[in-house]
Structure 1
Amino acid sequence: MLIVMSGLPGAGKSSIAQELGRLPPAPVLSVDPVEAAMWRAGIGRGQPTGPAAYVVVEALASDVLALGQTVIVDAVNDAREQWRGLARRRSVVLRHIEVTCSDHALHRRRLEGRRRDIDGFAEPTWASVEARRANFGSWREDLLVLDSAAPLTGNVRIAMAHLRDTRGDPSPSPSE
């Protein structure tokens, strides 16, 4: 299964993705550290490193899927067709989980207070997140929307139930 996490920066998608990755377990491939690695390798910031990072993560996800394993992609996700195409090519189920934060003050505090320690990667500003929000659209396919203003454990439980239902997996949830 290809699980694609999306949402605005600071919405909480990486926290949920990391917890989901611990449960099956499944590798979590994040676009931001890949882009930062390109910069550290000497590729200029004026180059299209954002789109290139998506291509690198797609190649890595394809290899994981070829092994018959589930993979989680963690990105803002402006590349919906890219993930649809990968799922088709690998003949896997694609599931999209969008993470929002209904409490804008909480979202802003999280964004401005986070320190991900991605060498060379500057955290986005609240103004850039607000600008991006205006153009952020939802997917057409099966979509689970989680509100990160709710507790992390509850969101992970909801996501796992959704993914289990998708696979038809009768295994118990982590809390059972």
Structure 2
Amino acid sequence: MAGPTLYIFSGLPGSGKSTLAKALAGKVGAVYLRIDTVEQGLRDLCGIAVEGEGYRLCYRVAADNLQLGTSVVADSCNPIQLSRDEWHSVAEKLAVRFIDIEVVCSDEAEHRYRVETRKPEVEGLQLPTWEKVKKREYHPWCTERIVVDTAGLDVAETLQNLLSKIAVHSK
């Protein structure tokens, strides 16, 4: 399919979402937008308590790039239907394709290990504890999406799995 695509990543912290989102952005030549980076920048530079501002800024940056004909990979937990709908709205207003991608780690022990041992990639970002990840608000999905399970797979295997699912989804 010609034209830009908005790849909307969702998933709990530690699921492998950011690693996979960056790999996809590199593979398809898309702009990579990470909500954590924007939100931490708002905290650091503006001294504000961030709520939905990071998402709203990223919607605008995504729209700018999609209008230029550049695909965008949006990396966020995207835990509630409202944020999912807002991402869809960005694509629909510009009449571009969007693909929802939910990243999960079905192996709880592996997921916990990732959460407890990972280092922050965004300077100043406080990573959540396993307890906070388990208690995080995360609404069930009510729309079509691609689900990618990262348990027991390396990045290359997971990316290939995702690319295969995108190809089937795009037919």
Q: Is the 8 A contact 1:4 1:95 kept in 2?
A: yes
Secondary structure at 1:73's aligned position in 2?
Answer: strand
| Structure 1 counterpart of 2:141, from 134, 139, 142 | 139
| Cα displacement (A) at 1:141 | 3.0
**2:110 maps to amino acid:** L
**1:76 maps to amino acid:** C
**1:148 maps to amino acid:** T
| Cα displacement (A) at 1:140 | 3.0
Q: Which runs of 5+ in 1 are unaligned?
A: 169-176
CA distance in 2, matches of 1:38, 1:27: 20
Q: Is the 8 A contact 1:39 1:120 kept in 2?
A: no
CA distance in 2, matches of 1:166, 1:93: 11
1:127-166 superposed matches below 5 A: 127-132=131-136, 135-151=137-153, 152-166=155-169
1:60-99 superposed matches below 5 A: 60-77=61-78, 78=80, 79-99=83-103
Instruction: Give per-residue Cα distances to partners, 1:56-87, cap 9 Å, x unaligned.
Output: 11111001100111111000003111111111
CA distance in 2, matches of 1:98, 1:146: 6
Q: Give the TM-score of the pair, scaled to structure 2.
A: 0.89
Q: Which runs of 5+ in 2 are unaligned?
A: none
Task: Please tell me the root mean square deviation across aligned C-alpha atoms, in Å.
Answer: 1.5
Secondary structure at 1:41's aligned position in 2?
Answer: helix
1:5 pairs with 2:18? no
Instruction: Determine what percentage of the aligned residue pairs are the same residue.
Output: 31
CA distance in 1, matches of 2:170, 2:110: 34
Secondary structure at 1:36's aligned position in 2?
Answer: helix
Q: Give the TM-score of the pair, scaled to structure 1.
A: 0.86
Question: Residues 159 and 84 from structure 1, CA distance in 2 versus in 1: closer, same or farther, beyond 3 angstroms?
Answer: same
Instruction: Give per-residue Cα distances to partners, 1:117-171, cap 9 Å, x unaligned.
Output: 3122100111111101xx4234333311111103122221121123234445xxx
| Cα displacement (A) at 1:23 | 0.7
Question: Residues 69 and 165 from structure 1, CA distance in 2 versus in 1: closer, same or farther, beyond 3 angstroms?
Answer: farther
**2:101 maps to amino acid:** I
Secondary structure at 1:141's aligned position in 2?
Answer: coil
CA distance in 1, matches of 2:142, 2:95: 19
CA distance in 1, matches of 2:167, 2:63: 21
1:24 pairs with 2:35? no
